């Protein structure tokens, strides 16, 4: 099995929805483009990643949303060294169809009170649903490591919530730990680095907005 030395998770650059949440009333979430700021953030991320990967090969997976596809394009990676595919299981948490702004803001308040992992949007997904499809993607990713010539780098271009849930699934974090974490900034990345002991570790943690509550399973 050829496990990669690095698994890099990149959040898309700033999108039209990040800059103006009223756009969700007029445009589908999946169709939102990057703003000029988002394009610049993606280009800066590309500079960092090209330096990180050097001349090594990369296996890349990209969420099918326009803002993630545009982010990957703006990374300007070497086509000769990168194998890329669209991966729907890395998409954003589904909210369901067009959004009524007042209703969405109310549901976000409900989600904050109920919990981001378990709260399900009325016509969309819960964080737990995203966790399940990320787990399905991980099973496919593990199988790809069986190829003896698997590239030493894996790149995922995805969304903030999906990044946190990927790491939750990979590192077996608790729901309480997930709930205390904040999304990374647009255009930023986190890297799972393979250590000499065969374990992966994050190069830097996600920021916390609160301290996780602990629960003793043994009483």
Any domain includes 212: no
Any domain includes 31: yes
Q: Let me know: does 69 contact 62? Beta carbons within 8 Å.
A: yes
**Domain span holding position 65:** 6-202
Number of domains forming the structure of the chain = 1
pLDDT > 70 fraction of the chain, expressed in percent and rounded: 100
**Which of 14, 74, 87, 92 is labelled catalytic?**
92
Diameter of the chain measured on Cα atoms = 55
Going by pLDDT thresholds of 50, 70 and 90, the confidence category of residue 158 is very high
The pLDDT value given to residue 20: 92
Going by pLDDT thresholds of 50, 70 and 90, the confidence category of residue 25 is confident
Q: Let me know: does 166 contact 154? Beta carbons within 8 Å.
A: no
Q: Global pTM? A: 0.94
Would residue 74 show up in a list of annotated catalytic residues for this protein?
no
* Each residue's pLDDT tens digit, 95-129: 877 777 787 788 888 888 888 999 998 888 999 99
Any domain includes 217: no
The pLDDT value given to residue 190: 98
**Which of 12, 116, 159, 189 is labelled catalytic?**
12
Any domain includes 214: no
Mean pLDDT of 21-43: 94
Mean pLDDT of 150-173: 98
CATH number at residue 79: 3.40.50.1240
Would residue 189 show up in a list of annotated catalytic residues for this protein?
no
């Amino acid at each position: 099995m050829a496990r990669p030395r690095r698994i890099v998770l990149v959040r898309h650059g700033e999108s039209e929805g990040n800059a103006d949440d009223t756009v969700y009333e007029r445009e589908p979430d999946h169709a939102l483009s990057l703003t000029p700021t988002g394009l610049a953030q993606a280009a800066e991320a590309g500079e960092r990643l090209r330096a990180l990967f050097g001349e090594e090969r990369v296996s890349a997976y990209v969420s099918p949303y326009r803002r993630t596809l545009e982010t990957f394009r703006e990374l300007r990676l070497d086509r000769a060294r990168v194998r890329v595919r669209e991966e729907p299981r890395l998409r954003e948490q589904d909210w369901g169809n067009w959004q009524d702004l007042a209703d969405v803001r109310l549901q976000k308040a409900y989600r904050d009170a109920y919990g981001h992992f378990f709260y399900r949007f009325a016509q969309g997904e819960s964080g737990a649903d995203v966790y399940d499809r990320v787990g399905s993607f991980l099973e496919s990713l593990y199988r790809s490591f069986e190829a003896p010539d698997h590239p030493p780098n894996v790149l995922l271009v995805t969304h903030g919530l999906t990044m946190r849930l990927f790491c939750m699934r990979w590192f077996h974090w608790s729901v309480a730990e997930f709930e205390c974490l904040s999304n990374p900034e647009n255009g930023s990345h986190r890297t799972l680095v393979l250590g000499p002991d065969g374990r992966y570790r994050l190069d830097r943690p996600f920021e916390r907005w609160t301290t996780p509550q602990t629960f003793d399973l043994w009483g």
